[in-house]
Structure 1
Amino acid sequence: MSTEINIGINQADRVEIANGLNNLLADTYSLYLKTHSFHWNVTGPMFNTLHLMFETQYTELALAVDIIAERVRALGERALGSYSAYAKVTGIKEDNGVTDANQMLQELLEGQEVIIRRARALYPLVNQADDEATADLLTQRIQLHEKTAWMLRSMLAK
């Protein structure tokens, strides 16, 4: 019985795609953590609206980390799973005690856009490797993050 992975994607491409997905995983988890913190700490006249919106967003992000990590594993690599590993590769800025609701919205918008760009940057490699499953995952992630970014941007509009 062979444990070799023979899914039509060569090992070098699988490793490179998995590395890219691990970066996406780190960003997604980091944004999850930040969004959850903002959910707990938001104050002001928009409290109820933002508290509920942030809950919806962090719940979706929590589900996404599992999907991304499982794709990394399906490609035969180890999914990152520690704060220190995520901190080394994430493009998401940590929550540094933000208390202003508009600043929270702006930082979450920026985080959504980091993830969109990270996911989009993986397409050339994924397409070259004929990795349709990862392409589908990326398409779904981009679509969701673009919608969330639009909603956050709309809340910031004056």
Structure 2
Amino acid sequence: MDRHNVELNRERPLATPTDLASDAVRDIGAGLNGLLADVFALYLKTKNFHWHMSGPHFRDYHLLLDEHGSQIFEMTDEIAERGRKLGATSLRSIGHISRLQRILDNDSDFVSPEDMLSELRDDNKQLVAILRQLHEMTSSYNDHATTSVIENWIDEAERRSWFLFEMTRRSL
């Protein structure tokens, strides 16, 4: 190992070699951490509504939200590891999530099934907008790998939005 790499390892022990410029790593890492915070917030809200679902469509809604929750949670490791591959650090705590999240929590004692689905529909639409902004940034830095996985996440979030839209259509 050459002297430069030894010094770099001491100064930035979590740095990962990449051909992206340091400003790209900084900006994309920050964008991925914001996205990760939002995905964790959406995951927990989806599971909250899954756990507290009630009413005549309980089984269908309960199963749908479980499926959505699993899909959303699956994103978390991929987002964090994508940032680490670039040499950025990732979220470290629930407090870190709460400082970065843009998708709002819902701590209400009771939320009707219709309101749950409508809120999740809107949150998934917000997630699509966040993903599109991040896609634009990663594309501008020629980070093709991150741009590519974001395209898949956009498709998944649009599908969740579509299902939730169709389920709440009459209440619009």
So what's the TM-score if we normalise by structure 2? Answer: 0.87
Partner of 1:131: 143
Conserved? CA contact 1:105–1:152, under 8 Å: yes
> Bigger CA drift: 66-75 or 90-99?
90-99
Q: Give structure 2 stretches of 5+ with no counterpart.
A: 10-14
Correspondence 1:21 to 2:21: no
Q: Give structure 1 stretches of 5+ with no counterpart.
A: none
Alignment of 1:31-110 (within 5 A): 31-97=42-108, 98-110=110-122
Distance apart, 1:5 and its partner CA = 4.2
* Dislocated runs of 4+, deviation >6 Å: none
Q: Whole-Å Cα distance in 2 between the matches of residues 89 and 5 of structure 1? A: 23
> What is the SS of the residue equivalent to 2:160?
helix
**What letter is aligned with 1:115?**
L
Distance apart, 1:140 and its partner CA = 0.7
Correspondence 1:142 to 2:149: no
Partner of 1:155: 167
Partner of 2:12: none
Distance apart, 1:115 and its partner CA = 1.1
**What letter is aligned with 1:119?**
L
Q: 1:73 to 1:5 in 2, by over 3 A?
A: closer
Q: Whole-Å Cα distance in 1 between the matches of residues 77 and 151 of structure 2? A: 16
Number of residue equivalences? 158
What fraction of aligned residue pairs are identical, expressed as a percent?
30
> What is the SS of the residue equivalent to 1:15?
helix
What's the RMSD between the two structures over aligned residues?
Answer: 1.3
Q: Whole-Å Cα distance in 2 between the matches of residues 37 and 5 of structure 1? A: 36
So what's the TM-score if we normalise by structure 1? Answer: 0.94
Please tell me whether Structure 1 or Structure 2 has the larger radius of gyration of its CA atoms.
2
